[in-house]
Amino acid sequence: MLKKLAPVPSPPLTHAAVTCPFCGLLCDDLTITARGTQLTVMANGCPKASAAFKAADLPGPPLVNGQPASLEAALDAAARILQRSQQPLFAGLGTDVAGLRALLALAEPCHAIVDHLHGAAMARQVRVLQSRGLIQTTLAEVRNRADLVVLLGVDINTDFQRFAEICLTPAESLVPARLAARRVFQVGPAASKPRHAGVRVERVPCAAVDLRQTLSALRAELRGRPHRVGGRTRTGVTQLAHAIRAAQYTVIVWAPGQLAALDGDLIIASAGELIADINRERRAAGLVLGGNDGGQTALAVCTWITGYPLRLSFAGDTLDFDPLRYQTARLLGQGAVDALLWLSTFSAQPAPATPIPRIVIGNAASTLMAPNSVFLPAGTPGLDHPGQLLRTDAVVALPLRELRPTATPSAAALLLQLAQRLR
176 close to 157: Cβ distance less than 8 angstroms = no
89 close to 83: Cβ distance less than 8 angstroms = no
What does the alpha-carbon distance between residue 423 and residue 418 come to, in Å, rounded to a whole number? 9
Domains of the chain by start residue, with CATH: 13-52 (no CATH), 56-118+293-421 (3.40.50.740), 123-290 (3.40.228.10)
pLDDT tens by residue, 151-183: 999 999 888 999 999 999 998 999 999 999 999
Place 198 in a pLDDT band, splitting at 50, 70 and 90: confident
Q: Are strands 148-152 and 183-188 parallel, antiparallel or unpaired?
A: parallel
Q: Angle at which helices 411-421 and 97-110 pack, to 10 degrees? A: 20
The whole-number average pLDDT for the span 329-350 is 95
What does the alpha-carbon distance between residue 253 and residue 286 come to, in Å, rounded to a whole number? 6
CA angle in degrees (0–180, nearest 5) for 16-21-24: 120
pLDDT tens by residue, 230-278: 888 999 999 999 999 999 999 999 999 999 877 899 999 999 999 999 9
What does the alpha-carbon distance between residue 162 and residue 389 come to, in Å, rounded to a whole number? 18
264 close to 119: Cβ distance less than 8 angstroms = no
Question: So what's the pLDDT on residue 10?
Answer: 65
pLDDT tens by residue, 366-417: 999 999 999 999 999 999 999 999 999 999 999 999 999 999 999 999 999 9
The CA distances from residue 22 to 134, 192, 203, 305, 381, in Å, are 26, 21, 29, 25, 10
